[in-house]
């Protein structure tokens, strides 16, 4: 049986080397290409046509979510698994809504990554056990997450990180009214009763990690 061909994408060479050593020790797995950012990931995908892509979420330049969407625009059947330091359910749901087939946190044991690759190759969606538990504990759904605009996401992240509406306005160079209008939209989309409820839900989903 032919080996599963993997494209490894992470902006840290030491991290890529660790993954490479792990994966090459597994029978039936072969890393055929590496990339250090989203733009290079798309080019490598087109050049090598891997069976599966392991993609970091936070990278300079073109990030993981943008790369997922770009790869899927070329090949809607592409199998992409996000491997990220972000452990909040929000990030996993955002990635899955973008078209990723799986999400594994970097704190997961190595065997979870290998098992996720096997499940995705078998045509299933997969989450590491810690991510599945995080998602079970939050009321955000993938459709709710996908409904947020980039601006709304920025504002929600800052709010979850402890900023007031006025501080968010200064941080993003917006008027206080614009921030409040966006927060009103976010509350409606995420079915939150108020800002306190919104912050609580966002923090439970791990959103404050990137604030």
Q: What is the pLDDT of residues 111-122, one digit of tens each?
A: 999 999 999 999
pLDDT at 118: 92
Q: Which of 136, 167, 190 is the last residue of a domain?
A: 136
Backbone angles phi and psi of 103, in degrees to 5: -145, 125
Which residue(s) pair with 105 in the sheet? Answer: 84
Confidence at 201, pLDDT banded by 50, 70, 90: confident
Put simply, whether the predicted model's pTM sits higher than 0.75 gets the answer no
Output the CA torsion sign for 96, 98, 100, 101.
Answer: positive
Q: Is the pLDDT of residue 205 over 80?
A: no
Instruction: Check whether residue 15 and residue 88 sit in a common domain.
Output: yes
| Angle between the N-to-C axes of helices 176-189 and 195-204, in degrees from 0 to 180, rounded to the nearest 10 | 60
Question: What number of other Cβ atoms are within 10 A of residue 133's Cβ?
Answer: 11
Which H or E element spans position 31? strand 29-35
Q: Evaluate whether 101 touches 120 at the Cβ level (below 8 Å).
A: yes
Instruction: Check whether residue 121 and residue 155 sit in a common domain.
Output: no
The residue segments making up the domain with residue 197 are 147-210
Q: Which of 113, 136, 159 is the last residue of a domain?
A: 136
């Amino acid at each position: 049986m032919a080996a599963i061909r993997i494209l490894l994408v992470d902006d840290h060479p030491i991290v890529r080397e660790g993954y490479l050593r792990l994966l090459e020790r597994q029978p039936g797995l072969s890393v055929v290409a590496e990339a250090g950012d989203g733009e290079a990931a798309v080019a490598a995908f087109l050049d090598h046509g891997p069976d599966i892509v392991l993609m970091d979420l936070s990278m300079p330049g073109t990030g993981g979510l943008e790369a997922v969407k770009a790869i899927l625009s070329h090949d809607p059947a592409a199998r992409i698994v996000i491997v990220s330091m972000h452990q909040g359910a929000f990030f996993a749901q955002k990635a899955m809504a973008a078209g990723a087939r799986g999400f594994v946190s970097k704190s997961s044991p190595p065997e979870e990554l290998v098992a996720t690759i096997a499940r995705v190759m078998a045509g299933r969606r997969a989450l590491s056990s810690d991510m599945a538990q995080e998602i079970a504990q939050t009321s955000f759904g993938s459709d709710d997450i996908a409904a947020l605009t980039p601006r709304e996401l920025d504002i929600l992240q800052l709010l979850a990180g402890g900023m007031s509406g006025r501080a968010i306005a200064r941080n993003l160079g917006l008027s206080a009214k614009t921030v409040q209008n966006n927060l009103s939209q976010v509350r409606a989309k995420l079915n939150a009763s108020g800002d306190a409820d919104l912050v609580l839900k966002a923090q439970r989903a791990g959103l404050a990690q990137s604030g």
